[in-house]
């Protein structure tokens, strides 16, 4: 088989020669047309806009020419492969055929075709006078392992302009990842326009300065930092992602990680404990003691916020955070203690659960599902909640055993802000060493779960926290190439971690680095950081040894 067919990432389920004894495959040229069957029009448009732009080929709608790329939706592929995202690509001496169990499956097949064409197909315009593009003769049959294949992008700690977010949508799509979880609010910034409460962005989207590096660092960037997405900006991002079969899941963090909101509207905080009017948007990192007050005013405020969020995001899931909520202010607050007594709650943990349950019911009543970090287990899990298991596997195991859906994203394995090597040159080294191979050997379903529990693991997610990533360039470095390994874990049916052929994956990555180059991704090279990727003198917080399995 032509080697072009063997460097696909993520690895497909089945791949074989299309012609007995091998064959020359198929050549796409200026006469190649797109034969778009019913329901395939958006994928045809994407092929013209991306592959057409990169190759310079017109890829005109099909007329009478037999030279064609044929797009079809074949629902029977879903039954055959157990997923509506299944697809089949056939390249032989007669045509290129891409079949999808649905439009989504067809789109993933089109992404595979783009990889088969080589790295130049990932550019935005042709770079050589080339009129023919040869494809190997092969048959690929493929479907994903998990329904939720996500990446969390933290735009609250460091704001990423809209164009950078759109570029990340394209990067997720190129790796067959289908969920973009946007962390939109935190102590350090509120990034989404809420028309009923304009001070959330007028005040909450801006901080006066920023800690450089870990919170123990003595360094500060004295420039103001901030930014936010207008509602139309976000509708554009959501629509752009939908065209690429990616769901954008918004996160509005509560009741912790909320100082930016309290700075904008001081009545949201525990006014009977501290002077909330003195708070500003936080300029450093860590767990913040200033949390929302468990009052009717706060509940109504966030219901108003979420009402506007639901109008922008069609996602069935809405993430409400729920993590790292210190209870000290609630213990000291007569108002919070009165709420505990009024609701018959045992303690402050149950008060947080009461807060989360309120929004679980509120979202359920509007046809949506609440997702939260695994702290929402404390004090009792809201009935319909899905758990993002971040502190390890334990929260996800408990939630799955209790009949809740789980997205596995353990910090020790797939937090991409953690350093990629032990060398002194790694920029702002945070956490455990998580190499490309470590990520490739990550297994989302822990062996402690029985078959019923394993079914509750609906997917997995890599999280990109940006406290020490001040720009798209830094995000690229921390994210790639490890996100490519993660994408294969999420999509492909791999052997047990110790049996995975990492050497073969590395060989396929050789071709994939060229694709990332064409896309303009400032990834970490296999040999270590380039000079401009280093951050000498900026303090991190490395943790030595192998990460625990918890």
Examine the pLDDT at 303 and tell me if it is beyond 50: yes
Rounded CA separation 264/280 (Å): 8
Examine the pLDDT at 380 and tell me if it is beyond 50: yes
Cβ-contact 153, 182 below 8 angstroms: yes
- Enter the pTM of the model: 0.97
Q: What is the DSSP letter of 381?
A: -
Rounded CA separation 243/264 (Å): 35
What value does the mean pLDDT take over residues 288-310?
Answer: 98
What is the model's pLDDT at position 540? 97
Dig out the tokens for 402 from the structure.
């209790």
The catalytically annotated residue of 158, 175, 181, 257 is 257
Rounded CA separation 380/78 (Å): 37
Examine the pLDDT at 247 and tell me if it is beyond 50: yes
Examine the pLDDT at 542 and tell me if it is beyond 90: yes
What is the model's pLDDT at position 4? 45
What value does the mean pLDDT take over residues 431-438?
Answer: 98
Q: Which residue has the tokens 């207008």?
A: 230
Q: Which residues are bridge partners to 431 per DSSP?
A: 542
214 — pLDDT class (breaks 50, 70, 90): very high
Q: Which residue has the tokens 């029009």?
A: 41
- Average pLDDT, rounded, for the chain: 96
The catalytically annotated residue of 7, 35, 186, 378 is 186
Examine the pLDDT at 270 and tell me if it is beyond 50: yes
What value does the mean pLDDT take over residues 374-386?
Answer: 88
373 — pLDDT class (breaks 50, 70, 90): very high
Comparing CA positions, the residue from 448, 419, 473, 456 lying closest to residue 161 is: 473
- Cα–Cα–Cα angle for 117, 119, 125, rounded to 5 degrees: 95
Q: Is 324 marked active-site? A: yes
Examine the pLDDT at 2 and tell me if it is beyond 70: no
25 — pLDDT class (breaks 50, 70, 90): confident
Dig out the tokens for 25 from the structure.
């495959």
What is the model's pLDDT at position 21? 64
The catalytically annotated residue of 31, 41, 283, 324 is 324
476-504: pLDDT as tens digits = 999 999 999 999 999 999 999 999 999 99
Q: Is 165 helix (H, G, I), strand (E, B) or coil?
A: helix
1 — pLDDT class (breaks 50, 70, 90): very low
Dig out the tokens for 279 from the structure.
């708070």
């Amino acid at each position: 088989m032509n080697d072009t067919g063997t460097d696909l990432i993520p690895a497909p389920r089945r791949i074989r020669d299309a012609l007995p004894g091998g064959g020359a495959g198929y050549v796409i040229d200026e006469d190649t047309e797109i034969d778009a069957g019913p329901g395939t029009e958006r994928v045809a448009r994407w092929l013209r806009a991306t592959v057409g732009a990169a190759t310079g080929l017109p890829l005109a709608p099909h007329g009478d020419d037999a030279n064609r790329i044929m797009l079809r939706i074949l629902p029977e592929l879903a039954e055959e492969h157990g997923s509506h995202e299944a697809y089949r690509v056939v390249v032989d001496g007669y045509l290129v055929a891409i079949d999808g169990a649905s439009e989504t499956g067809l789109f993933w097949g089109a992404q595979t075709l783009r990889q088969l064409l080589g790295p130049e197909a990932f550019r935005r315009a042709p770079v050589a006078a080339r009129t023919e593009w040869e494809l190997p003769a092969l048959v690929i049959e493929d479907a994903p392992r998990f329904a939720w294949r996500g990446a969390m992008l933290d735009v609250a700690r460091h704001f990423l302009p809209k164009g950078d977010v759109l570029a990340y949508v394209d990067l997720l799509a190129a790796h067959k990842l289908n969920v973009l979880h946007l962390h939109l609010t935190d102590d350090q910034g509120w990034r989404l326009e809420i028309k009923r409460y304009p001070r959330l962005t007028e005040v909450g989207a801006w901080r006066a300065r920023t800690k450089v590096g870990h919170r123990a660092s003595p360094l500060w960037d004295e420039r103001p930092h901030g930014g936010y997405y207008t509602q139309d900006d976000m509708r554009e991002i959501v629509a752009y992602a939908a065209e690429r079969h990616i769901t954008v899941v918004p996160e509005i963090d509560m009741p912790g990680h909320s100082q930016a909101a309290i700075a904008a509207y001081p009545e949201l905080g525990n006014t009977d404990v501290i002077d909330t009017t003195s708070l500003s948007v936080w300029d450093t990192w860590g767990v913040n003691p200033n949390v929302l007050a468990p009052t009717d005013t706060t509940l109504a405020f966030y219901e108003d916020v979420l009402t506007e969020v639901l109008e922008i995001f069609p996602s069935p899931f809405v993430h409400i955070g729920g993590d790292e909520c210190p209870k000290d202010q609630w213990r000291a607050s007569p108002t919070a203690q009165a709420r505990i007594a009024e609701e018959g709650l045992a303690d402050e943990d149950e008060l947080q659960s009461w807060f989360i349950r309120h929004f679980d019911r509120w979202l359920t009543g509007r046809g949506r599902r609440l997702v939260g970090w695994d702290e929402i287990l404390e004090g009792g899990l809201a009935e319909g909640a899905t758990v993002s298991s971040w502190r390890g596997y334990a929260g996800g195991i408990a939630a799955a055993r209790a009949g809740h859906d789980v997205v596995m994203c353990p910090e020790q394995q797939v937090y991409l802000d953690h350093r990629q090597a032990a060398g002194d040159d790694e920029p702002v080294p945070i956490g455990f060493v998580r190499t490309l191979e470590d990520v490739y050997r990550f297994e989302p379903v822990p062996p402690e779960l029985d078959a019923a529990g394993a079914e509750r693991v609906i997917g997995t997610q890599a999280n990109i926290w940006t406290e020490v990533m001040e720009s798209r360039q830094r995000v690229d470095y921390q994210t790639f190439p490890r996100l490519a390994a993660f994408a294969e874990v999420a999509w492909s049916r791999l052997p047990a971690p110790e049996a995975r052929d990492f050497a073969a994956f590395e060989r396929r990555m050789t071709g994939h680095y060229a694709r990332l180059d064409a896309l303009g991704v400032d990834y970490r090279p296999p040999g270590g950081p380039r000079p401009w990727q280093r951050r000498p003198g900026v303090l991190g917080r490395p943790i030595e040894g192998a990460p625990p399995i918890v």
